């Protein structure tokens, strides 16, 4: 990275994690929880806290004495003061002088132009970066596996997005947001475990999340699934959690949102309806044959197989359309869009990035020029 113009920092903004690293590398250098914590009680905190705020894992480790906030909701930044503090932390952890670097950012397809203006302003006015490129996460996910057209199902911490991409362009008007994500599954598992006789408190919810990640799976047929053998999981104080079928009933939310009182169709029905909105049969076929799974929830065992089954059921009940369904899981579902950022071709980058010189002339409205 001798050439300053080749120095590019890649940032993928997520509700639960922010992934950060350098272009042309195959994995992020940092994966930072998207949280900031401040002391709950000023008098007590003087002895226990040596900083006005803590970021990421350090904040989570002190959650007993800190009030945690998550400035990114449904993949969209909702508190820019906190987001700026997280970015300061990230650049300090990388130990870089941002004035010598360009930055590539992966953004949600449901983000607003106002937010795009804000991140542009922060990057050029606070961090004085050389150049800025802003891409859409799901377009970049496809790029990471060599596709330009496909339907990305991105199921993360706060939501699940269904995003059609045609010839490298996200069809923003056709994006579907399902407000069910990993934290909802954790909350539902917490509820089910307590209903089953366990006594688990809010401060132990991270343990429930561990149970979900270690034992959770998607059943091919939730209502006829075999009774699971009872298992135990130990809490830090030595107390045990007992569970059986809860570990497949909780992730069922993604396929049955009504369990969480969310008045939306199942994910398979939403995928079908999204694709069928396109009038051209060729586009429909391309999308059906290039359904790409990414995001932490798609790592559940059985997710892909259940979606394949449900998609075939939906198609057979709708005039039996004769199309090929192909569902692909990304090899790195937690950071596939970050990887796509790091692989952006030089010609594409050069035609779409904003330079500091351009920004200084027109300000944040530069985002409307390319």
pLDDT digits (tens, 9 = 90+) for 95-150: 999 999 999 999 999 999 999 999 999 999 999 999 999 999 999 999 999 999 99
Question: Measured on CA atoms in the order 254, 255, 257, 259, is the torsion positive or negative?
Answer: negative
Domain of residue 209, residue span: 182-254
**pLDDT at residue 5 is higher than 50:** no
Outline where the chain has alpha helix (H): 42-48, 56-61, 80-94, 113-121, 137-144, 182-195, 205-215, 246-249, 267-276, 281-288, 303-316, 336-342, 346-352, 356-362
Cα–Cα–Cα angle for 92, 8, 351, nearest 5°? 145
Same domain, 154 and 293: yes
CATH of the domain at 293: 3.30.420.40
pLDDT tens per residue across span 198-215:
888 887 888 899 999 999
**Residue 321, domain member (yes or no):** yes
Q: What is the pTM of this model?
A: 0.90
| Nearest Cα to Cα of residue 278 among 136, 165, 161 | 165
37-46, 52-61, 344-353: least confident range = 37-46
Shared domain for 88 and 15, answered yes or no, is yes
- Average predicted confidence (pLDDT) for the chain: 91
* CA dihedral of residues 7, 332, 76, 269 (deg, nearest 10): 150
Is 297 among the domain residues? yes
Are 20 and 107 members of one domain?
yes
**Residues 53-68, mean pLDDT to the nearest whole number:** 91
Q: Which of 129, 52, 54, 42 is nearest to 89 (CA)?
A: 54
In a domain? residue 187: yes
Asked if 162 and 225 sit in the same domain, the reply is no
Distance CA 357, CA 258 (A): 51
What's the rounded Cα separation, in Å, for the pair 278 and 169?
A: 14
60 lies in a domain? no
In a domain, 154, yes or no: yes
CATH code assigned at 229:
3.90.640.10
Residue 68 burial (C-beta neighbours within 10 Å; 0-12, 13-18, 19+): middle
According to the model, what pLDDT value does residue 46 have? 61
Residue 215, pLDDT score = 94
pLDDT in tens, 277-312: 999 999 999 999 999 999 999 999 999 999 999 999
The number of distinct structural domains making up the chain is: 3
Query: 280 in a domain, yes or no?
Result: yes
Domain boundary among 233, 254, 275: 254
d(CA 298, CA 295): 6
4 vs 183, higher pLDDT: 183
Looking at the structure, tell me whether residues 197 and 241 fall in a common domain: yes
Rg of the Cα atoms in the chain? 22
Report the alpha-carbon distance of residue 6 to residue 4 in Å, rounded.
5
Domain boundary (232, 254, 276) is at 254
Flag whether 56 is in a domain.
Answer: no
130 token code pair: 């050389």
| Domain-embedded: residue 131 | yes
Distances (CA, A) of 89 to 56, 83, 86, 95: 9, 10, 5, 10
End residue of a domain, out of 225, 254, 283: 254
């Amino acid at each position: 990275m001798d050439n300053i113009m080749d120095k590019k920092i890649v940032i993928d903004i997520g509700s639960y994690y922010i992934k950060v690293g350098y272009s042309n590398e195959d994995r992020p250098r940092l994966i930072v929880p998207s949280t900031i914590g401040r002391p709950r009680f000023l008098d007590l905190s003087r002895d226990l806290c040596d900083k006005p705020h803590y970021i990421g894992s350090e904040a989570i480790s002190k959650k007993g004495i800190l009030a945690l906030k998550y400035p990114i909701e449904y993949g969209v930044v909702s508190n820019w003061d906190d987001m700026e503090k997280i970015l300061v932390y990230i650049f300090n952890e990388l130990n870089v002088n941002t004035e010598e670097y360009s930055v590539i950012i992966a953004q949600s397809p449901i983000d607003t132009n106002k937010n795009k203006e804000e991140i542009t302003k922060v990057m050029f006015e606070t961090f004085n970066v050389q150049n800025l490129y802003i891409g859409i996460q799901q377009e970049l996910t496809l790029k990471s596996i060599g596709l330009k057209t496909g339907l990305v199902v991105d199921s993360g911490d706060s939501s699940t997005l269904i995003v059609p991409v045609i010839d490298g362009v996200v069809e923003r008007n056709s994006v579907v947001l399902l407000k069910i994500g990993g934290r909802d599954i954790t909350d539902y598992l917490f509820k089910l475990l307590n209903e089953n006789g366990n006594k688990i408190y809010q401060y132990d919810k991270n343990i429930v999340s561990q149970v979900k990640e270690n034992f959770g799976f998607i059943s091919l047929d939730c209502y006829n699934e075999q009774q699971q053998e009872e298992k135990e999981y130990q809490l830090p104080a030595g107390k045990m959690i007992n569970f059986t079928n809860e570990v497949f009933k909780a992730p069922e939310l993604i396929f049955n949102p009504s369990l969480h009182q969310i008045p939306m169709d199942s994910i398979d029905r939403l995928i079908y309806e999204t694709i069928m909105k396109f009038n051209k049969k060729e586009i429909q076929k391309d999308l059906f044959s290039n359904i790409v799974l990414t995001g932490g929830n798609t790592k559940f065992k059985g997710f892909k197989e259940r979606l394949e089954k449900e998609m075939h059921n939906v198609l057979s009940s709708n005039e039996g359309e004769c199309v090929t369904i192909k569902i692909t899981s990304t090899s790195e579902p937690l950071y596939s869009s970050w990887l796509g950022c790091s692989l952006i071709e030089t010609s594409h980058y050069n035609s779409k990035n904003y330079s500091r010189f351009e920004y200084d002339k027109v300000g944040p409205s530069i985002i409307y020029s390319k």
